[in-house]
């Protein structure tokens, strides 16, 4: 687990971007949320739509106090920590600071690393490119499986057996293959109604 940088009494994390928008996926779709996208990822999804988040540059490190100022100014009630792969980092200092603003803190992670920090909602979206940890799957409030082919549905069933009671089970088509996999996903959900369909609202609306 990577520690943030400490410079005197300031704490810095590598942030690719941060912005206020609507949550586009999963259980909180359509709700306003402030996104903090941490830089750095070694999962390597071939269809990742933010490959620019994989590398970390020295000039990307941002003072947590600056993030707090922007989050507070937005008046958001939800902060989503995403990436990249945010669980690579020790998130305790960041989440404890955010908690001072009385916001709910969500994380979106592949589950490939131990999950840290004071979090209110954990979305685990496992990727075959880097095996998820069972301990991360066990913590998930939301299991969001990206579907490229039928094998992903079989894998989804296997992982769902490791989830805690009440975990939300979502199937989300990979954006570039959506038209091909929609029928497969719909049929699967009809046969296994514990699953729900997740769509990427932000892409339909063309917003961040």
DSSP state letters, 145-205: EEESSHHHHHHHHHHHTTSPTT-EEEEEE-GGGHHHHHHHHHHHHHHSTTEEE---HHHHH
pLDDT confidence of 118, banded at 50, 70, 90?
A: very high
The total number of structural domains in the chain stands at 1
The whole-model pTM stands at 0.95
**143 or 200, greater pLDDT:** 143
197 has a pLDDT exceeding 80: yes
Tens of pLDDT along 56-91? 999 999 999 999 999 999 999 999 999 999 999 999
How confident is the model at residue 111, as a pLDDT?
97
Overall average pLDDT of the 20-27 stretch: 96
Residue 128: which CATH number? Answer: 3.20.20.70
Tens of pLDDT along 130-175? 999 999 999 999 999 999 999 999 999 999 999 999 999 999 999 8
Please answer whether residues 107 and 85 qualify as being in contact, where contact means their C-beta atoms are separated by less than 8 angstroms: no
49 has a pLDDT exceeding 80: no
Tens of pLDDT along 180-193? 999 999 999 999 99
pLDDT confidence of 177, banded at 50, 70, 90?
A: confident
Range of the domain at 36: 5-205
**45 or 35, greater pLDDT:** 35
DSSP state of 21: E
């Amino acid at each position: 687990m990577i520690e943030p940088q400490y410079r005197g009494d300031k704490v810095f994390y590598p942030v690719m971007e941060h912005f206020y928008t609507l949550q586009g996926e999963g259980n909180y779709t359509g709700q306003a949320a402030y996104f903090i996208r941490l830089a750095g990822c070694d999962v390597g999804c071939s269809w990742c739509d933010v490959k620019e988040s994989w590398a970390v540059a020295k000039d990307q490190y941002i003072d947590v106090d600056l993030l707090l100022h922007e989050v507070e100014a937005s008046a958001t009630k939800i902060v989503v920590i995403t990436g990249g792969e945010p669980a690579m980092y020790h998130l305790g200092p960041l989440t404890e600071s955010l908690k001072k603003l009385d916001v709910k803190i969500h994380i979106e992670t592949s589950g490939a690393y131990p999950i840290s920090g004071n979090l209110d909602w954990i979305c685990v979206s496992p990727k075959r490119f880097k095996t998820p940890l069972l301990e991360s799957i066990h913590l998930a409030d939301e299991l969001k499986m990206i579907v490229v082919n039928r094998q992903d549905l079989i894998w989804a069933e296997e992982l769902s057996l490791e989830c805690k009671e009440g975990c939300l089970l979502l199937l989300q088509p990979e954006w570039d293959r959506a038209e091909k996999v929609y029928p497969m996903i719909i049929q699967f959900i009809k046969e296994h109604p514990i699953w729900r369909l997740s769509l990427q609202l932000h892409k339909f609306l063309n917003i961040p």
